[in-house]
Amino acid sequence: MADDSCGIARGLDLLGERWTGLVLRDVLRGFERFSDLQRELGVAPDVLSDRLAKLTRAGVVSKVEYREPGHRPRPKYVATESGIRLGLVLAALNDWADEFRPVPTGRPNALRYVEGPTGQAVHLAPVDDAGRVVDDARVELQVLR
70 binds DNA, rule: CB under 7 A:
yes
68 binds a second copy, rule: CB under 8 A:
no
Contact letters for a second copy, residues 100-119 (x by CB under 8 A): xx-x-xxx-xxxxxxxxxxx
A 10 A CB-CB count for 93 gives 15
84 binds a second copy, rule: CB under 8 A:
yes
Considering only residues 6, 8, 9, 44, which one is a binding residue for DNA as defined by CB under 7 A? 44
Rule CB under 7 A: which of 1-40 touch DNA?
Answer: 17-19, 33-36, 38
- Euclidean distance between CA atoms 57 and 66, whole angstroms: 19
Q: Which residues neighbour 136 within 8 Å (Cβ) at sequence distance 6 or greater? A: 125, 126
Closest to a second copy by CB, 8 or 45: 8
The string of DSSP letters for 61-75 reads EEEEEE--TTS--EE
Interface segment toward a second copy; rule CB under 8 A; list 48-56, 61-69, 70-78, 81-89: 81-89
79 binds DNA, rule: CB under 7 A:
no
Beta bridge partners of 74: 66
Rule CB under 7 A: which of 80-139 touch DNA?
Answer: none
Would you say the C-alpha torsion 9, 57, 36, 30 has a positive or negative sign?
negative
Instruction: Give the DSSP H or E segment for 49.
Output: helix 45-57
Give contact residues for DNA (rule: CB under 7 A).
17-19, 33-36, 38, 42-47, 49-50, 52, 63, 67, 69-75
